[in-house]
Amino acid sequence: MKITFMGAGSTVFARNVIGDCMCSEALRDSVFALYDIDGERLKESETILEAMRKTKGDYGKIECYLGVEQRKDALRDADFVVNAIQVGLYDPCTIIDFEVPKKYGLRQTIGDTLGIGGIMRALRTIPVMEDFARDMQEVCPNALFLNYTNPMAMLAGYMQRYTGVKTVGLCHSVQVCSSGLLTDLGMEDKLEGRKELIAGINHMAWLLEIKDKNGVDLYPEIKSRIDAKIADPDYCNKVRLEYIKNFGYYCTESSEHNSEYNMFYIKSKYPQLIERYNIPLDEYPRRCVNQIEGWKKEYAELMENGVKEHERSHEYASHIMEAIVTSKPYQIGGNVLNTDHLITNLPAEACVEVPCLVNGYGIHPCHVGALPVQCAAMNMTNINVQLLTIEAARTRKLEHIYQAAMLDPHTGSELDIDTIKKMVDDLIAAHGDFLPKYN
């Protein structure tokens, strides 16, 4: 079996996903093909993973492929392809995504999923993923593409609609959604045996039901505790608790993410909201700098002291592969096309996040039905931007980029149309060759 990792220079993530595979008896003897366009980062990943492989019993084989000219060989005969690329990296592209909008008075926290940052990230990533898809259809047409790159709904949605590659989008937030909420609210005694239903879109899927092991609805107790938590000046997850108060349900992704997915919290005319909700403006650039410095230190320590034992993480990738290889069923929260209206009050062409059964026949999304109307409405404000960004990538029409930015809840609530267009033009110019040409 062959497992190919695209963007293997993302060493920490590659270590987690491939390390998880090495923990699985069904997967550990695979060929692990590492692909990246950065030779130094690729070498670091190879060094770490080779050391990890030896600690895990010397099973399998690691192969490295550098640059576009070796991409087909990396993909050739792969059974699974994991995607974790970041086109343009932190420097220069993430810096551009934050600094250009800031000149227009538009502030962001993460900028990788929605908003003007998410739009730009999708537009520079989709052409690269189109290249991946063409290669896969030639050299590994039956492989399953497991996408971890953001913006998830735009990238996975494009692959699912406009390529022939079997694709599922995977995130980290579904697995820890309810446990994080219950722990934050001091309800750890309800964790064991709990039952939950989560559905919506990536980074804004809704915890529609949560019950304890005896089937008792936990939302009444949750709602009775949230005011005290929101009143805590040091608590940093207030936006999601406000979602419960105002929309009735908790959502999957963090408050720093969700503060920029709507028009409510980051408002230049209401600067007091930033402090009130502990919203970390410019969080992603800060995080990138810290991660880069942290990895340098960690890598030096690993080279000096050796690679530590890896314990299987909560990432879905290895469990999906294992379920398909062994035919032992496994449930995930997957990002899939809303075919046959899995969620009946969201568009069929939207990429939705729903429970999926995985077995020897692949990934089988589950029908959810209608979301509460207010939750569907919130999702639609994001889906509008996602669909228009996908349309811009497909048609190469500049007007669709303008429209996506105009309809973005945060951007549209802060800037007028002429300013939005000027900002988009400046971003396109600043990104240069990282973006294709638009008409």
Catalytic positions:
172
For residue 399, give the nearest of 389, 384, 386, 410 by alpha carbon: 389
Q: Is 77 helix (H, G, I), strand (E, B) or coil?
A: coil
For residue 32, give the nearest of 1, 67, 7, 66 by alpha carbon: 1
- Give phi and psi for 206, each to the nearest 5: -105, 135
For residue 337, give the nearest of 186, 172, 179, 202 by alpha carbon: 202
CA 337/CA 351 separation, integer angstroms: 4
Beta-strand ranges (E) seen in 124-262 are 144-147, 166-169, 195-201, 204-211, 250-251
28 within 8 A of 57, measured Cβ to Cβ: yes
For residue 236, give the nearest of 280, 193, 203 by alpha carbon: 280
Q: Is 195 helix (H, G, I), strand (E, B) or coil?
A: strand
Relative to beta strand 330-337, strand 351-359 is antiparallel
63 within 8 A of 34, measured Cβ to Cβ: yes
CA 47/CA 38 separation, integer angstroms: 14
Q: Is 348 helix (H, G, I), strand (E, B) or coil?
A: coil
For residue 172, give the nearest of 199, 194, 202 by alpha carbon: 202
178 within 8 A of 210, measured Cβ to Cβ: yes
The residue to which tokens 């639609």 are assigned:
380
Query: 3-state secondary structure string, 43-65?
Result: HHHHHHHHHHHHHCCCCCEEEEE
